[in-house]
Amino acid sequence: MQAIVVEQLGGPQELRIAERPTPRPGPGQIRVEVAAAGVNFMDTGARRLGPAVGQVPFVPGVEGAGRVAELGEGVTEFAVGDRVAWVYAYGSYAEELVLPATSAVPVPDGISDEVAASVMMQGITAHHFATEAAPVEPGHITLVHAAAGGLGQKLVQLIKARGGTVIGLTSTKAKADLARQIGADHALVSTGDAFVEPVLELTGGQGVHTVFDGGGETTFRASMTVVRRHGTLLYYGAVIGDAPVVNLRELPRSIKICYPVFRDHISTREALLRHTADIFRLVQDGRLRVEIGGRYPLKDAAQAHRDIESRATTGKLLLVP
């Protein structure tokens, strides 16, 4: 089978296609035929800095969807031929993959493999952000950075589904138009800290209840400026530059800062099933629209990484073996 292999850390050119032996599942594992693998910004960090588990050489990619091809000993939840999607299983940039059965969920009829692959990492992340890490309540005003990106689009729609108001930040007018199309009440074209004044103006000087900031250190302090009293700044920009250093005494207006970690989104099997079931239901109900921003054959993984790092893309990028 073919897979993308990183043999040394570095730029996109280090993503090379290679022949590898077909993997065999061990106890508690399943082997799947990959129909679509999601491309995430965190994958670029793994390519540059190394994967969170293991070392080079490695096959990147942590999410996807496909069909069960073989069961390991003790697996009873799935059968050969079942459609499944998975998350946080390294090795997804491949034609076939072995992963723990506990990392996979069944894909309902009516949801395509591409859509299922698109909502695992970003959908679960956005769902956890809006329902548990910084729960959005009806009437809450929120600020969403990168509102036209793959995660941003899902977050905007989940906030709207919970009755919140969204101010979306984008880097271009075209992206601002897209953010409005998916439900943002306001969409601002902004770079750096230029959003502070218009956000305060839109909120009557009060600021927002929650900022969802994936912009990294360059936007962090400006985001603090627009959080209202007792509001929350949810920061998830760990892959983008250095993490900000915060002096607790400098926090204004008794605000709270949250740094959500993906493992906490799905700390149990039950949490994984609960989040994905709700996400799939929102997709089926038409309340969560998934935009595929780009499809690439497996051999073009390097181009997919160049594109996602350019910040010129919108929606979800997929590798299709």
Q: What domains appear along the chain, each with residue ranges and CATH number? A: 2-122+264-320 (3.90.180.10), 138-259 (3.40.50.720)
Torsion, Cα of 107, 110, 114, 119 (10° steps): -60
Give residues with Cβ within 8 angstroms of 21, minimum separation 6: 1
Q: How many helices (H) and strands (E) does the chain have?
A: 10, 15
> Measured between alpha carbons, how far is 183 from 306 in angstroms, rounded to an integer?
28
Strand partners, 213: 235
User: Bridge partners of 316?
Assistant: 292
* Residue 241, pLDDT score: 61
pLDDT at residue 244, rounded to an integer: 80
- SS3 label, residue 239: coil
Whole-angstrom CA distances from 40 to 68, 122, 151, 318 are: 23, 8, 9, 9
The structure's pTM equals: 0.89
Q: DSSP assignment of 278-296, as one string?
A: HHHHHHHTTSS---EEEEE
Cα 253 to chain centroid distance, Å, stands at: 30
Running along the chain, 321 residues long, what does each successive block of 10 average in pLDDT?
97 97 97 97 92 89 98 98 96 97 96 97 94 96 93 95 97 94 96 94 98 86 96 81 81 94 88 95 94 96 95 89 94
**Are 88 and 103 spatial neighbours (Cβ–Cβ below 8 Å)?**
yes
